[in-house]
Each structure stands twice: as structure tokens, then as C-alpha cells.
């Protein structure tokens, strides 16, 4: 049971991708430098660049290696929440659990 939780968190956070709607690509990372848009494609993990200013990015997708497609995260669709709200709740849960453990340690040391 101890090994299932870290594996679950790794799988949830390792598949996060972004849909680059201009070219219909699934990308892992991006940045802007000197007026150019650089992005890392999920398909081959290579960096590409373009000079277009209108970059339509949509979060909440993951790259499916078997079908080579960018698919929307079904968990978000089932919960009817947005990508940022979902990960905000995960972060808030982590902070609350960490704070509870910290208080437990402090109470154990003081008693």
C-alpha cells in the first residue's frame, strides 16, 4: 500500500500536457524569448520555435503514447472543474496534510 500512493501521484503529475491549438500538438513545456515562442513537443521531445504571437494554449490534456494523440483529462470532465482548480485543490490538500503532520510532530515532542 505504501508504494501505491507515490506511484499514483507520479502518474497524475507526469502526464500533464498542454494542447497547442495553432498546430494541434501536445506540448510539454514552452517559453518566450526575444519575441519567439519555443515549445517542446510531446511526440518526440524536441524543441521547436515559431514567431506567431497568437498562441492558443489549453491546459488539462495528456499525451497518449499508444495513439499519438492529445486527449483531455477525463477526471476534470467528470468532476466538472477546470485544470487550475483541480491542481489548486491538490496543492491545498497537500498543505493541510503537511500542516497536520507538523502539528503532530510538535505535539509528540512537547508531550
| Predicted pLDDT of residue 51 | 84
Decide if 22 contacts 54 (C-beta within 8 A). yes
Euclidean distance between CA atoms 30 and 38, whole angstroms: 5
Does the pTM of the predicted model rise above 0.85?
A: no
pLDDT score of 1 more than 70? no
pLDDT in tens, 51-93: 877 678 888 788 888 888 888 877 777 878 887 788 888 899 9
Query: So where are the chain's domains?
Result: 4-80, 83-111
Amino acid at each position: 500500500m505504501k508504494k501505491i500512493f507515490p506511484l499514483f501521484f507520479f502518474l497524475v503529475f507526469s502526464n500533464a500536457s498542454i494542447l497547442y491549438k495553432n498546430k494541434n500538438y501536445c506540448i510539454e513545456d514552452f517559453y518566450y524569448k526575444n519575441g519567439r515562442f519555443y515549445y517542446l513537443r510531446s511526440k518526440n521531445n524536441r524543441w521547436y520555435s515559431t514567431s506567431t504571437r497568437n498562441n492558443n494554449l489549453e491546459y488539462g490534456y495528456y499525451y497518449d503514447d499508444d495513439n499519438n494523440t492529445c486527449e483531455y483529462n477525463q477526471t476534470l470532465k467528470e468532476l466538472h472543474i477546470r485544470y487550475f482548480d483541480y491542481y489548486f485543490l491538490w496543492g491545498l490538500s497537500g498543505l493541510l496534510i503537511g500542516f497536520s503532520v507538523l502539528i503532530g510532530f510538535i505535539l509528540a515532542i512537547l508531550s
